Amino acid sequence: IVSERLPDLAPHLDHTLLDRQAGRERVAALCDEADRWGCAAVCVYPLWVPLAAERLHRKAPKVATVIGFPSGAHTSEVKRYEAAEAVDRGATELDVTINLAWLREGNTEGVYQELAAIVEAAGQPVKAILELPLLSAAEVEQAVAIALDAGVACLKTGTGWSGPVTVAQVQQLVRLSQGRIPIKAAGGIRSLNFALELLAAGATRLGTSHTATLLQELAQSA
């Protein structure tokens, strides 16, 4: 264990279900678990936002969903619409994949304009998914600067679809943002020790589908 003093882990967790085959029963169970365990949020596909919003009405966990996920290669108009619709249907946080192709080819203005428009259209906190496993150090620096300028509420390491998060990635985002914005780590968070390492590195949110395992380990370690 990273520290002898164990944190209250649940308030840092986005209890996540992005299995494309998951239906109503699993989404409903996810919401009930998040409420029972005291998680920060659930994270579900846009299709399931109304169900999650209804299930968590007047409950503490936020309803997060993913926009332009996982590729980020949707048109800007579609991503703006998807964000606005999700909020209209009850989402209170949006995890938005940036346009990686534009970033790689140097169209930083396009990345900024798209992200800023989504932030404006949403009117709810936006987490910018930067997909760090695919980016060079210079590209990460550019992506962080763009996201901050666009007014996002949080920087997210990645979708988890391009590789697991690392402690170094979290430290990189903390350094580049100078600690001015929350950091969400996501991808391959399956053990309590790793979760605690990410929090110690500066992450404030952890996106994971292994919430039950982490909290069970925490209870056994207390």
Question: Which residues are identified as catalytic?
Answer: 95, 156, 184
Q: Do 184 and 204 meet the contact criterion of CB atoms below 8 Å apart?
A: yes
The Cα–Cα gap between 111 and 195 comes to: 30
Closest listed residue to residue 188, CA positions, set 175, 206, 201: 206
Closest listed residue to residue 186, CA positions, set 127, 123, 101: 127
Residue with the two structure tokens 């697991």: 164
The amino acid at 60: A
